[in-house]
């Protein structure tokens, strides 16, 4: 009887919350409509003495009662070296509990494309601790200036059917390993950044890969995470240590109601997590909402919009799978298994492996902490450097962001002006400039067809998994012939160069272009009738000139990489 009562409770709280949300939703919409009525100059009521206050009150009511859905990254373009490049967000891997997103950068300039190709590839592991990955929007936008960026986009557990099975901390570690291998396979090498909660599973993932002799990331940046939660305990640490796992399971774990795809799944609901966030700093949030009310009265649209942007992100929360949440509490905050060396992870094949950070040897480590961090206290992240005992000291670095709280180390002015330059320099210092053969092969058409601007998007799309052409194996006669042709400094003629550097199909397509470029009359005709002066590009002219084009040592693939760049 008691079991049935407890089982019913697991459903009822979530059901009560959903009923309350459904009840408040129409009132929220009505409040928004009323606010617009009292601010519309064409409506007579907007000219009443207290119209602005009434409108502000309705506006605040709408914000407090509305339902906050998952935000979008909304990054459409960034500037790199003063050149604006377009951004396309796409899914590289789609797993039940997480999607690996890539922010693909587009450009139609040869010099810019060359720079983008040589930029380091960075995997940002977003936290699974209540908020969506879009919380790192500022991190992603800033990193895109100088890096190829991937990010983990964790799925709301209430939207994952029970048939997909459970998701625990071991699964999280295995996901991270898969994503690292994917980024390395696509780009030759990878740099990984973990923010807050994932610092522990990311260290575990890299440690396990190193112990197996796999290629590990060239660098690992650990930011504001509880690697050693015994150092400078915060309110978060105290709550985890003062309660037992049974208490957490009985008081914060509930089942998803029937109106979601994940009906019946045991989760730590997002609305309970949000209540915890507010309870940590209730006065600060109350003051923020009151300031928003005053901004609406005074007509300060800029400040009001800044408030809306922040809380649209902050109020959007997701459910976490119960197994993952309870595993994290026990492993990280109660048993401290990583620092004690007692953590065992089960692989997808069912093999149990011990996590040993001392197995990491070739991955540079940067630990970043905020001076005023009230989530992960000072020293908790720095402990990662002491755990990696076999990483050379010259590959270790510690940086404390002065005046920054927890969010300040990855978002806002301090992140952009203080923290990011340190990360950029550290990653570049340990970047080995490896370009995967497939990536290099796929990039050549983009470099050689710049005059056909309308085709660039299609050629870039051809680099997507499953659509890319198969790369010839390194060491085969064809690969050697192409390399030899690329090294030829001065071909006898344009037609001879075509015969040396391309197969028959490519020669038949490229020969007429080369002939025009080397014949004065043809060049004059093409310039006058076919190609307007505004579309003539210096890179294209350089390619048809009699002088040879300087080779690009970074991107030319001449066979297997040197031994020092192939270490794990």
pLDDT tens for 415-444 read 999 999 999 999 999 998 766 555 555 555
Segment holding 87, helix H or strand E:
strand 83-95
10 Å CB burial of residue 16 (0-12, 13-18, 19+) is: exposed
pLDDT digits (tens, 9 = 90+) for 114-161: 888 889 999 999 999 889 999 999 999 999 999 999 999 999 999 999
3-state helix, strand, coil in the chain (%, to 5): 55, 15, 35
Residue reference for tokens 């919409």: 29
Show the low-confidence residues of the chain (pLDDT under 70). Answer: 1-11, 434-568
**Which residues, other chains included, contact 66 with Cβ-Cβ below 8 Å and sequence gap of 6+?**
25, 28, 32
pLDDT of residue 452: 46
Q: What is the 3-state secondary structure (H, E, C) of 374-421?
A: CCCCCCCCCHHHHHCCCCCHHHEEEEEECCCCCHHHCCCHHHHHHHHH
Q: What is the dihedral of CA 194, 197, 200, 205, to 10 degrees?
A: -60
pLDDT of residue 389: 95
How far is it, in rounded angstroms, from Cα 139 to Cα 123? Answer: 12
**Which residues, other chains included, contact 375 with Cβ-Cβ below 8 Å and sequence gap of 6+?**
196, 224, 234, 236, 406
How far is it, in rounded angstroms, from Cα 160 to Cα 296? Answer: 40
Beta-carbon neighbour count of residue 50 at 10 Å?
11
CB contact at 8 A, 456 and 449: yes
pLDDT of residue 462: 52
pLDDT of residue 521: 37
DSSP structural state of residue 529: I
pLDDT of residue 433: 74
From residue 183, how far is each of 87, 103, 215, 218, 491 by CA, in Å? 18, 13, 12, 12, 38
How far is it, in rounded angstroms, from Cα 349 to Cα 351? Answer: 6
CB contact at 8 A, 514 and 526: no
**Which residues, other chains included, contact 152 with Cβ-Cβ below 8 Å and sequence gap of 6+?**
98, 99, 100, 101, 123, 124, 125, 126, 133, 175, 176, 179, 198
Nearest to 391 by CA among 556, 235, 243, 206: 206
How far is it, in rounded angstroms, from Cα 68 to Cα 328? Answer: 26
How far is it, in rounded angstroms, from Cα 203 to Cα 221? Answer: 10
CA atoms within 13 A on the CB side of 441: 19
pTM of the model: 0.74
Tokens of 171: 């699964």
DSSP structural state of residue 333: I
CB contact at 8 A, 347 and 376: no
């Amino acid at each position: 009887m008691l079991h049935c009562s407890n089982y019913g409770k697991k459903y009822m709280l979530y059901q009560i919350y959903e009923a309350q949300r459904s009840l408040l939703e129409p009132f929220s919409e009505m409040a928004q409509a009323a606010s617009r009525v009292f601010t519309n100059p064409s409506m007579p009521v907007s000219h009443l003495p207290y119209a602005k206050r009434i409108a502000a009150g309705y506006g605040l009511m709408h914000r407090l009662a509305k339902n906050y859905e998952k935000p979008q990254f909304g990054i459409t373009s960034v500037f790199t070296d003063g050149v604006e490049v377009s951004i396309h967000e796409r899914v590289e891997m789609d797993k039940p509990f997480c999607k690996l997103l890539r922010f693909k950068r587009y450009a139609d300039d040869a010099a810019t494309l060359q720079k983008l190709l040589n930029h380091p590839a960075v995997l940002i592991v977003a936290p699974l601790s209540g908020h969506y990955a879009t919380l790192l929007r500022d991190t992603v936008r800033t990193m895109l200036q100088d890096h190829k960026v991937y990010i983990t986009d964790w799925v709301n557990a209430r939207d994952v059917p029970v048939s997909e099975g459970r998701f625990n901390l071991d699964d999280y570690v295995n996901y991270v390993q898969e994503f690292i291998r994917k980024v390395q396979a696509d780009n030759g090498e990878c740099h990984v950044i973990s923010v807050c909660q994932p610092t522990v599973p990311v260290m575990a993932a890299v440690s396990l890969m190193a112990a197996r002799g796999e290629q590990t990331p060239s660098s690992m940046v650990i930011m504001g995470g509880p690697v050693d939660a015994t150092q400078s305990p915060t309110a978060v640490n105290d709550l985890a240590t003062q309660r037992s796992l049974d208490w957490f399971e009985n008081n914060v774990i509930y089942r998803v109601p029937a109106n979601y795809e994940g009906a019946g799944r045991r989760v730590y609901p997002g609305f309970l997590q949000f209540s915890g966030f507010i309870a940590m700093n209730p006065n600060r949030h109350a003051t923020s909402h009151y300031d928003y009310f005053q901004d609406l009265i005074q007509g300060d649209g800029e400040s009001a919009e800044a408030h809306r942007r922040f809380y649209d992100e902050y109020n959007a929360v997701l459910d976490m799978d119960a197994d993952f949440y309870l595993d994290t509490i026990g492993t990280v905050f109660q048993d401290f298994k990583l620092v004690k060396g007692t953590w065992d992870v089960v692989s997808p094949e069912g093999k149990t492996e011990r996590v040993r950070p001392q197995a990491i040897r070739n991955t540079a480590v940067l630990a970043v902490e905020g001076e005023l961090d009230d989530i992960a206290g000072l020293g908790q992240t720095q402990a990662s450097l002491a755990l990696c005992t076999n990483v050379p000291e010259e590959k270790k670095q510690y940086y404390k962001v002065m005046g920054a709280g927890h969010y300040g180390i990855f978002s806002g002015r301090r992140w952009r002006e203080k923290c990011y330059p340190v990360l950029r320099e550290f990653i570049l210092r340990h970047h080995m400039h490896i370009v995967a053969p497939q990536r290099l092969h796929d990039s050549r058409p983009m470099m050689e067809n710049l005059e056909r601007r309308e085709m660039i998007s299609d050629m870039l799309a051809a680099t997507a998994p499953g659509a890319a052409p198969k790369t010839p194996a390194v060491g085969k006669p064809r690969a050697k012939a192409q390399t030899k042709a690329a090294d030829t400094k001065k071909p006898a003629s344009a037609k001879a160069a075509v015969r040396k550097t391309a197969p028959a199909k490519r020669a038949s397509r490229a020969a007429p272009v080369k002939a025009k470029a080397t014949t004065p009359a043809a060049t004059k005709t093409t310039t006058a009738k076919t190609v307007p002066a505004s579309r003539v590009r210096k890179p294209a002219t350089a390619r048809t000139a009699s002088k040879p084009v300087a080779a690009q040592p970074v991107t030319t693939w001449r066979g297997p990489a040197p031994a020092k760049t192939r270490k794990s």
